[in-house]
Structure 1
Amino acid sequence: MPRPMTITEKILAAHAGLPEVVPGQLVNCRLDLVLANDVTAPIAIKEFRKIGVERVWDPERVALVPDHYTPNKDIKSAEQAKMVREFAREQGITHYYEIGCMGVEHALLPEQGVVVPGDAIIGADSHTCTYGALGAFATGVGSTDAAVGMATGEAWFKVPASLKFHVTGELGPWVGAKDIILHVIGMIGVDGALYQAMEFCGDTIERLDMDGRMTICNMAIEAGGKSGIIAVDDTTREYVRTRAEREWVEHASDPDAEYARTYEIDAAAIEPTVAFPHLPSNTRPVREARDVRVDQVVIGSCTNGRLADLRAAAEILRGRKVHRDVRLIVIPATQQIYRDAMHEGLIDVFLDAGAAVSTPTCGPCLGGHMGILAAGERALATTNRNFVGRMGDPTSEVYLASPVVAAATAVAGHIALPEDVE
């Protein structure tokens, strides 16, 4: 009989063709998808050429999404996007998404049914771990590994040990998925899950919608995690059933599976949370941060640019105006999210409040475009990183929070809760 295994171990064993695996074991796995963007794909393409193969292993299992510097901000970014575009055409890449049909990759690929439960996925982007919300093993890799993956459809892994985060109870007012993951990162630190799979479970997690689950798994890397993952349930199935382009396989952790550590978290103890510069682990309750004034607020990204996020922000902004000293930038993560938000009247809410609404892009999250900070400026963002210079000048500051806190902050002019702008 195979040893009891976690969901992560089961997925890797299945893709390695083995009855079981153990943490620390090196395994060669077949892949279901390899992805890259306009920053990482050009490097991967150059390395792919060096390998000497002429064609990718499967043009339907490679995804290329120019989303970081698009629409192109300058000549260099235009050249990078051009290289990706030409490679996609040459190779007949099925999942190539550019302006007009594109989106922030980690929101777009689940939405389009390109990733499904049970997959083993590598992406030349650290937030590839987002797809664990669908019950897949997904992890970021370097562009060279992505090149080999595109050529062979395989990758080597060291099987990670798993950490279990058992979250139970009712969340308090204005507390959501972003607060859960910021609370966890603040609790264990930016290296608290180093090369480990972060498995989230418990009735609190089960009540989250898919948008919330993706927010949590998206930021596993900010705790050093190799991946984040949530087991498939009816919420997952309902999401995948209407969009999956292929069959999927469901795995679940055995009741007696071994974990490196288990964390029991009381949801009621989680407050609306903000991460101060310059680490996602530098967290404090919002109630202790009300004296921090900001120049810019960004609502969007692969962490919080989904429809549920826009709805939450619009609830606070409806009938209110952005503070005169604040620039509010709202970026729906995909074209479909943009369209749905428009049809629901959310775009009108943002425009009436005085926000700028952008076409889908990663832009400001990485200091690319659409919201660069000048020296000494502060931004509160629903993004995932707040390192030194992340959004612009090295002396600027980035604070991380939920869409609810972001919207309240945009109105108040300082980090705020909704009750501060009533």
Structure 2
Amino acid sequence: MPSPTPQMHLRVAVLPGDGLGPELASCAERVLSLIQNVRGTVTFDLSRYDFGGAAIASSGVPLPSSTLEACRDADAVLVCGCGDARFGIEPEMGLLALRKQLHGAANIRPVSFPSSELAQRSAYRAELVENLDITFFRDLTSGVYYGERREATEEDGYALDTIPYNRETIQHLARLAGAYAMRSNPPKPVHSVDKYNVMATSRLWRAVVTEVFAKEFPRVPLRHVLVDTASMLLSSDPISLNGIILTENMFGDILSDQAGGITNSTDILASAAISTLTTTDMRCRGVFEPMNLKATGTLVNPIGIIHAVLHMLELSFSLHEEADALSKAIRRTLDPIELVGSDCRPVDLGGKASAAEFMDTLLHNLDYYLEAVNSAEAAGEHVVASPADSGIFLPESDLGRRPMGIIEKILTHAGIGLKTPEVRPGDMICVRVDWTITSELLWAGMEKTYDQMGRPRPYRNDRLWLAVDHTVDPRTNDRPRQQGLMAKAEKFRREAKIIDFLPANTSIMHTDFTRERAQPGRIVVGSDSHTCSSGSMGSLAVGFGAADVVMPMVTGETWFRAPEVCRINFIGALAFGVGGKDVILHILGLFKRNTIAFQRAVEYGGPGLAELSMDARFAIANMTTEFGGMGACFEADGATASWIAGRQHPQHREGGLYFRADPGAQYAEERTIDLSEVKVTVAMHPNPDDVVPIPEKAGMKLDGVFIGACTTTEEDLILAALVLEAGLREGLRPVSNGKRRVTPGSLIIIKNLERMGLTDIYRQAGFEIGAPGCSYCVGINDVDVAGEGEVWLSSQNRNFRNRMGKGSFGNITCAAAVAASSFGMEVVDPAWLLERIDRDKYERFIKAPKGPSSATFEVAEPRPDVSPQAPSSALQTVGMEGKVPMSTVPRVVRSKVQRFAENVDTDAVIPAEFMPGVDNADLGSHCFQYFRPEFREKAKNGSTIM
């Protein structure tokens, strides 16, 4: 939905030049045309002019005067090819002349991997370079290339080059680098490279740079590095130079080429020559070009020219949102499927895509990301945060509010038009929702409400997560039910241009969302009760009914009755081999279901939090719904910040709010859990709170074992594999009877397990490895269904009646216990095998895939939106197609009663295999089908009170 009236008109001089330049020019023009058409806020006047070898062939000079004049009149210049070998160095001389005439004082050359997948192709180890992010600021006007020189003669054999620099030249470049560093928050570090210990010009360089940064950019970290040290670091520890490398002409020429070599392809990089940096009220004309200007033959890889366009959008036009959209589209096109990518790589980057196929996929992805910019603007938000918006809000001492807990602070910060600067339990408030998440099964239910609303445009197409996971399996995805549900989800993806759409068997909806998207201090609403998993990242994560999720998906807001909060404080530390699943079963065993947490949000914290890994927190948050909680939220800390800092996509490493509970915050219930008391237990069918120590059930015969479901984390899967390895080493072998299946939560986790060699261990122990999905946990993919009368031990989160299959008996425990029990198909205490695990190996594995070991964060305070009037809500502007009649149900109901016991679960109400139903009547025809088959007939005969 583009803006109705263009606000910017920009002239771009396109210089195709020679070689593959004309084809690259066409690629650039397609990108700019799409931006113009989708955004509607900018128009590009694209005109081609002769240049380089093509100009020499037609007019005898590489830079005709008409081309130079057009470039002077343009807002930016795009050079696509230059270096026709037939004309020697003449084309390059034309390029130098162009830069000089347009006053290109600084060469800016970013060096990074547009996708982490490309780091695997570097000559360096991927883990050393995948986070490479260096931008070179190199002088283009002085130094040895422009100094006085004397060529050697036959007589004297003496040559001379000089390296002239003056204070003004160095000051100008240093100011450009400092201003560029300040565009990031926090400011990027600057590494000033010189040869201070030998050269007079370097001593001047260091003195001037030091002075400029001390006076004008005191917040920018400045480090002086000798050029030989810089070269050594680029060879041994490149990311230690992440940030900006500020240096003189020749050093920059050499070092930027050396850094470019790390990427293993010059065809993915680009550079710019500019005189100044653009600001909101002034544009900067620059010359933008791919790093490889001499490409000839058949076009294989157009990424270099696309990056040149990206730099032009950012540096010359300040179109930061559009540049960001293009950067994300490049990454999405190159990324593998497990990273929600298109896995479309040119042949020279190890893929199979032609240049044309790459461009078509890129433009498709760019269209979606530009829609994200449009939807953010329509919502009055920005996709790219400004440097001034740190997201850190200091306490307002004059508010006079009462002490609040973390969940209350999240709701206060998200509230719209609050009457007071605080939220209290029971308050009915309208809040901003940051993410909505769903699956193919639950979307089919949501779609009924969406149709009634007339299928309006979603609030943010980049804040909607849809994973195809519940009903799918590669063995049955060709069946009518699966095909129908996948088709509904795919239709919505295309219609809404959903960015985070995960095709069948990519990830369980909660797994990768929590690991790669959820942020502290934000609100996540999902159409599945295990949405609370995201609370492990410090979000307030709540599962709603399918229809109730449609409203925040469309408006970005929802009405919320502020819940009472139950606080769980952890102390102590877990024993080795005891994890998050054991902790939540311990809590369920102590307090039981639907007691202290019933219809409350659960907040987790305390000094023992530091002893819980992020995976352990995930498992605890995931089963908060079994505990009775309507939502979950962990206190976000350094471990949270470190995990988020290691995420694959840079845009999802920022944006969190790290709230802390105030001293004196009030809770409906507050309990302490000593982690040192947690043991391995098993919850017996059909109640997740019927928890007993696992030795009490030792020897119980099993028909099947399952390690999987969203609650089983990567850490659990690693530990279970090492338990199996220890068992095999001790001479144990799987008995021939029984079923064994392991289903990791996402393709990312499967790849990690494969890299560690752990999938081979699972196979040796008799396990089949399934594609990511809900599998036996919900038993509706037509193959992973437990048989009637079968007894299973599973690491899933629910053991309700008929959950794994009609008439089956599911018992739940940790993955390590399932693994130990799998050899003999009877329940075994895993303790003796846990003692035989190589702990160093385990520690190495669980830390291997993660990011930085430490990351900084600042504690935030809410900034309430207080208004004495009723909130002006987008919810008020969204209507239904047709009128919804007022209820005609009488205030007094007389009926026979159908009496149920406590804790009637949703699996009993509607078995998952009958969801979502064609309509409500169809859904109702299966109500209590297994749990109480006579229910429907009794209801028809007048027993309508439950």
With normalisation by structure 2, the TM-score equals 0.43
| Partner of residue 7, structure 1 | 406
Instruction: State the shift of 1:32 in Å.
Output: 0.4
1:264 aligns with 2:705: no
Query: What SS is found at the alignment partner of 1:294?
Result: coil
| Partner of residue 284, structure 1 | 692
- Equivalent residues in 2 for 1:187-206, closer than 5 Å: 187-192=590-595, 193-206=597-610
Structure with greater Cα Rg: 2
| Partner of residue 174, structure 1 | 577
- Equivalent residues in 2 for 1:213-224, closer than 5 Å: 213-224=617-628
The answer to whether the Cα contact below 8 Å between 1:130 and 1:138 also exists between their aligned partners in 2 is yes
| Partner of residue 519, structure 2 | 116
| Partner of residue 656, structure 2 | 248
C-alpha separation in 1, matches of 2:673 and 2:591 = 12
C-alpha separation in 2, matches of 1:30 and 1:253 = 21
What is the letter of the counterpart of residue 338 of structure 1?
A: I
1:26 aligns with 2:428: yes
Structure 1 residue runs of 4 or more that deviate by more than 6 Å after TM superposition: none
Query: What SS is found at the alignment partner of 1:132?
Result: helix
C-alpha separation in 1, matches of 2:799 and 2:664 = 38
1:343 aligns with 2:755: yes
Instruction: State the shift of 1:256 in Å.
Output: 1.0
What is the letter of the counterpart of residue 570 of structure 2?
A: V
- Equivalent residues in 2 for 1:405-420, closer than 5 Å: 405-419=817-831
1:314 aligns with 2:721: yes
Instruction: State the shift of 1:46 in Å.
Output: 2.3
C-alpha separation in 2, matches of 1:270 and 1:115 = 28
| Partner of residue 508, structure 2 | 104
Query: What SS is found at the alignment partner of 2:823?
Result: helix
The answer to whether the Cα contact below 8 Å between 1:408 and 1:420 also exists between their aligned partners in 2 is no
Q: Which of residues 193, 208, 212 in structure 1 aligns to 2:612?
A: 208
What is the letter of the counterpart of residue 292 of structure 1?
A: M
C-alpha separation in 2, matches of 1:380 and 1:420 = 19
1:153 aligns with 2:561: no
**Count of residues paired in the alignment:** 418
Query: What SS is found at the alignment partner of 1:40?
Result: helix
C-alpha separation in 1, matches of 2:461 and 2:654 = 15
Instruction: State the shift of 1:324 in Å.
Output: 2.5
What is the letter of the counterpart of residue 718 of structure 2?
A: R
- Equivalent residues in 2 for 1:36-115, closer than 5 Å: 36-71=438-473, 72-73=476-477, 74-99=479-504, 102-112=506-516, 114-115=517-518
Q: Which of residues 561, 567, 572 in structure 2 aligns to 1:164?
A: 567
Deviations along 1:337-372, one digit per CA (max 9) or x if unpaired, are: 000000000100001111000110112101123431
| Partner of residue 638, structure 2 | 234
Give the direction of change, closer, same or farther, for the CA distance of 1:64–1:291 in structure 2 (3 Å limit).
same
Higher mean C-alpha deviation, range 126-135 or range 189-198: 189-198
Q: Which of residues 804, 811, 815 in structure 2 aligns to 1:403?
A: 815
- Equivalent residues in 2 for 1:354-393, closer than 5 Å: 354-369=766-781, 370-393=783-806
C-alpha separation in 1, matches of 2:734 and 2:442 = 36
C-alpha separation in 2, matches of 1:323 and 1:420 = 19
What is the letter of the counterpart of residue 722 of structure 2?
A: E
- Greater relative CO (CA pairs within 8 A, separation 6+): 1
C-alpha separation in 2, matches of 1:63 and 1:267 = 34
The answer to whether the Cα contact below 8 Å between 2:637 and 2:658 also exists between their aligned partners in 1 is no
C-alpha separation in 2, matches of 1:89 and 1:52 = 16
What is the letter of the counterpart of residue 490 of structure 2?
A: R
What is the letter of the counterpart of residue 357 of structure 1?
A: I
Instruction: State the shift of 1:173 in Å.
Output: 4.7
What is the letter of the counterpart of residue 206 of structure 1?
A: A
C-alpha separation in 1, matches of 2:737 and 2:831 = 20
The answer to whether the Cα contact below 8 Å between 1:186 and 1:282 also exists between their aligned partners in 2 is yes
Instruction: State the shift of 1:143 in Å.
Output: 1.0
C-alpha separation in 1, matches of 2:405 and 2:449 = 34
The answer to whether the Cα contact below 8 Å between 2:564 and 2:601 also exists between their aligned partners in 1 is yes
Give the direction of change, closer, same or farther, for the CA distance of 1:269–1:111 in structure 2 (3 Å limit).
closer
Give the direction of change, closer, same or farther, for the CA distance of 1:362–1:119 in structure 2 (3 Å limit).
same
The answer to whether the Cα contact below 8 Å between 1:385 and 1:400 also exists between their aligned partners in 2 is yes
Query: What SS is found at the alignment partner of 2:623?
Result: helix
C-alpha separation in 1, matches of 2:575 and 2:787 = 36
Deviations along 1:98-136, one digit per CA (max 9) or x if unpaired, are: 036x20111111233x22111111100000000111110
| Partner of residue 357, structure 2 | none
What is the letter of the counterpart of residue 350 of structure 1?
A: Y
Identity of counterpart residues, as a percentage?
30
Query: What SS is found at the alignment partner of 1:63?
Result: strand
The answer to whether the Cα contact below 8 Å between 1:133 and 1:229 also exists between their aligned partners in 2 is yes
C-alpha separation in 2, matches of 1:52 and 1:330 = 42
Instruction: State the shift of 1:332 in Å.
Output: 1.1
Instruction: State the shift of 1:6 in Å.
Output: 0.9
Instruction: State the shift of 1:90 in Å.
Output: 1.0
Query: What SS is found at the alignment partner of 1:303?
Result: coil
Deviations along 1:16-61, one digit per CA (max 9) or x if unpaired, are: 1442100111111111001110111011122112112531111111
The answer to whether the Cα contact below 8 Å between 2:514 and 2:533 also exists between their aligned partners in 1 is no
Instruction: State the shift of 1:384 in Å.
Output: 0.5
Deviations along 1:378-406, one digit per CA (max 9) or x if unpaired, are: 11111110000000122x11011001111
What is the letter of the counterpart of residue 704 of structure 2?
A: Q
C-alpha separation in 2, matches of 1:155 and 1:127 = 19
The answer to whether the Cα contact below 8 Å between 1:33 and 1:63 also exists between their aligned partners in 2 is yes
Higher mean C-alpha deviation, range 199-208 or range 358-367: 199-208
The answer to whether the Cα contact below 8 Å between 2:704 and 2:792 also exists between their aligned partners in 1 is yes
Q: Which of residues 328, 338, 347 in structure 1 aligns to 2:740?
A: 328
Instruction: State the shift of 1:273 in Å.
Output: 0.9
Query: What SS is found at the alignment partner of 2:660?
Result: coil
Deviations along 1:308-361, one digit per CA (max 9) or x if unpaired, are: 111110111012433322321111111110000000001000011110001101
Query: What SS is found at the alignment partner of 1:108?
Result: helix
C-alpha separation in 2, matches of 1:206 and 1:400 = 26
What is the letter of the counterpart of residue 377 of structure 1?
A: E
| Partner of residue 298, structure 2 | none
C-alpha separation in 2, matches of 1:242 and 1:138 = 22
The answer to whether the Cα contact below 8 Å between 1:197 and 1:228 also exists between their aligned partners in 2 is yes
Q: Where does the alignment leave 5 or more consecutive residues of structure 1 unmatched?
A: none
What is the letter of the counterpart of residue 384 of structure 1?
A: N
Query: What SS is found at the alignment partner of 2:672?
Result: strand
C-alpha separation in 2, matches of 1:58 and 1:176 = 36
